[in-house]
Amino acid sequence: MKQLITVFLMAMVWTGTLAQPVEVGLYQEQLVRAAVVYCSSGHYQLLLDGEVVLRMENGDILYLTLEDELIKVLDAENDFGYAGHVELRSLSTESVFRLRPIQPELESRVYDDNLLVLPGDRYITLVNQVDLDKYLAGVVEAEAGPNAEKEFYKAQSVLCRTYALKQMERHINEGFSLCDGTHCQAYKGKSTGNPEILEAIVETSAMVVADYNFKLITAAYHSNSGGQTQRASDVWLSDENYLQSVVDPYSLHQPHAKWKDTISFKEWKAYLLKNGMKSVTRIPDEIIYVEQMRRKKYFILDSDSIRMTKIRADWGFKSSFFDMFPDGDSVLVWGKGYGHGLGMSQEGAMKMARDDFSYQDILQFYFHEIRLMDYRDLPHSSLPQSVLDL
Ligand SMILES: [Zn+2]
């Protein structure tokens, strides 16, 4: 009975507008020209150019196709003609739709809340207007998988929220706030893999990481540090006080702690020569090696140098934390960690959570001199305007 009353009250207070909506551009890199939308649960209203034309419920299907810079809208029985603005507006907090691009054909994904569809000259812009917490649950699952501990999920939630709020105006000229690719943060729709993810979001509600000047940090994280994180200026041009290099024993012995590769010695020498290391033509092969007991910013030979991050990018290595030894015609590459190495190591943080550290301990370990606080307590000058409007 009590549950029924709660459901009834939720229905009463639901006004059709989301408490804290964010607008996420979907399938942005694939240039979608046609898609099918299925109403999976709850109820929706279909609005074409602002007018309600249909009420949709579980099982209803809609076909959307780009034609002459407008969207042609059909369902199983009706041809609704063309529209310049299509909206699927949720009529309850539990509404869920499935979206399947058919041109090009891509895997379908399930989303909470609303869908906006805007035509362009070459492709349609698909925007999921979704409650911030539900969006963050989807991001945490896409970025960290469904099989970790709650305290890890809390640490990851705080970082994903910080990142999202700081980047909220990144795609503002394209008609949405954030994209669903790694350019912003990966988002593959509704979190379904582990209920603890949404709990972690709710239990850290509104919490973000700020630096000592009350500014949102660049909430960097990566898969595995290899035993030592990177300092900001070793990857970027500028330094950030909160991103210092940390010796990280928790990342050792984790799935992505080590990697191996082999490259051709001839190609390696040609690469060094091309990048200004003229001495490779006269010094013995056996002293052309890279050794990093601790992370180094540069590979230095004679008086020439190349940034480790450049070598990583040019050769497609998993990290810039590696040793290289000549071995006949080849060079053996023994690497540590996976990713750029900045900020929180996800596998290290998972290990810390298994060792009973709290999410606050985890974040304080990977970031230097930070404040964990409610973003609404930050000075307005520290937040993008669209966050103040949430
Ligand atoms: Zn983006």
Please give the pLDDT value at position 234: 87
Please give the pLDDT value at position 283: 87
Q: In angstroms, what is the span from residue 160 Cα to ligand 1's centroid? A: 13
Q: How confident is the model at residue 106 (pLDDT cuts 50, 70, 90)?
A: very high
Q: In angstroms, what is the span from residue 167 Cα to ligand 1's centroid? A: 8
Q: In angstroms, what is the span from residue 25 Cα to ligand 1's centroid? A: 8
Please give the pLDDT value at position 10: 42
Is 98 in contact with 110 (CB distance < 8 Å)?
Answer: yes
Structure-model confidence comparison of residues 288 and 125, the more confident one? 125
Mean pLDDT of the chain: 92
Q: In angstroms, what is the span from residue 262 Cα to ligand 1's centroid? A: 34
Q: Angle at Cα 189 formed by Cα 203 and Cα 390, nearest 5°?
A: 55
Q: In angstroms, what is the span from residue 29 Cα to ligand 1's centroid? A: 10
Please give the pLDDT value at position 18: 65
Query: Coil, helix or strand for 315?
Result: helix
Please give the pLDDT value at position 389: 80
Q: In angstroms, what is the span from residue 358 Cα to ligand 1's centroid? A: 30
Q: In angstroms, what is the span from residue 224 Cα to ligand 1's centroid? A: 23
Q: In angstroms, what is the span from residue 168 Cα to ligand 1's centroid? A: 10
Q: Which residue has 């988002």 as its token pair?
A: 187
Q: In angstroms, what is the span from residue 176 Cα to ligand 1's centroid? A: 10
Please give the pLDDT value at position 390: 76
Q: Give the tens place of pLDDT for each residue, 77-96.
A: 999 999 999 999 999 888 99
Q: In angstroms, what is the span from residue 169 Cα to ligand 1's centroid? A: 10
Please give the pLDDT value at position 287: 84
Please give the pLDDT value at position 15: 46
Q: In angstroms, what is the span from residue 155 Cα to ligand 1's centroid? A: 22
Is 213 in contact with 370 (CB distance < 8 Å)?
Answer: no
Q: Give the tens place of pLDDT for each residue, 174-223.
A: 999 999 999 999 999 999 989 999 999 999 999 999 999 999 999 999 99
**b/e for 14-40, b at 16 or more Cβ within 10 A?**
eeeebeebbbbbbbbeeebbbbbbbbb
Alpha-carbon gap, residue 80 to 268, rounded angstroms: 61
Q: In angstroms, what is the span from residue 268 Cα to ligand 1's centroid? A: 34
Q: In angstroms, what is the span from residue 50 Cα to ligand 1's centroid? A: 27
Q: In angstroms, what is the span from residue 186 Cα to ligand 1's centroid? A: 9
Is 58 in contact with 39 (CB distance < 8 Å)?
Answer: yes
Q: Could you tell me whether strands 322-327 and 330-336 are parallel, antiparallel, or unpaired per DSSP bridges?
A: antiparallel
Residues facing residue 131 across a β-bridge:
21
Q: In angstroms, what is the span from residue 180 Cα to ligand 1's centroid? A: 7
Please give the pLDDT value at position 9: 39
Q: Which amino acid makes up residue 83?
A: A
Q: In angstroms, what is the span from residue 222 Cα to ligand 1's centroid? A: 17
pLDDT at 13 over 60: no
Percent of all residues in the chain with a pLDDT value above 90, rounded to a whole number: 84
Please give the pLDDT value at position 22: 94
Q: Which two tokens stand for residue 245?
A: 């290099």
**b/e for 88-112, b at 16 or more Cβ within 10 A?**
bbbbebebbbbbebeeeeeeebbbb
Domain boundaries, the chain: 32-122, 132-217+370-390, 258-336
Q: In angstroms, what is the span from residue 188 Cα to ligand 1's centroid? A: 14
Alpha-carbon gap, residue 280 to 271, rounded angstroms: 10
Q: Where are the alpha helices (DSSP H) in 149-216?
A: 150-166, 195-203
Fold of 32-122: Jelly Rolls (2.60.120)
Q: Give the tens place of pLDDT for each residue, 237-263.
A: 788 999 999 999 999 999 999 999 999
Q: In angstroms, what is the span from residue 363 Cα to ligand 1's centroid? A: 24
Please give the pLDDT value at position 4: 43
Q: Could you tell me whether strands 298-301 and 207-210 are parallel, antiparallel, or unpaired per DSSP bridges?
A: unpaired
Alpha-carbon gap, residue 148 to 316, rounded angstroms: 28
Q: In angstroms, what is the span from residue 294 Cα to ligand 1's centroid? A: 33
Q: How confident is the model at residue 387 (pLDDT cuts 50, 70, 90)?
A: confident
Q: In angstroms, what is the span from residue 245 Cα to ligand 1's centroid? A: 27
pLDDT at 337 over 90: yes
Find the range with the poorest average confidence among 14-18, 82-86, 97-101, 357-361: 14-18
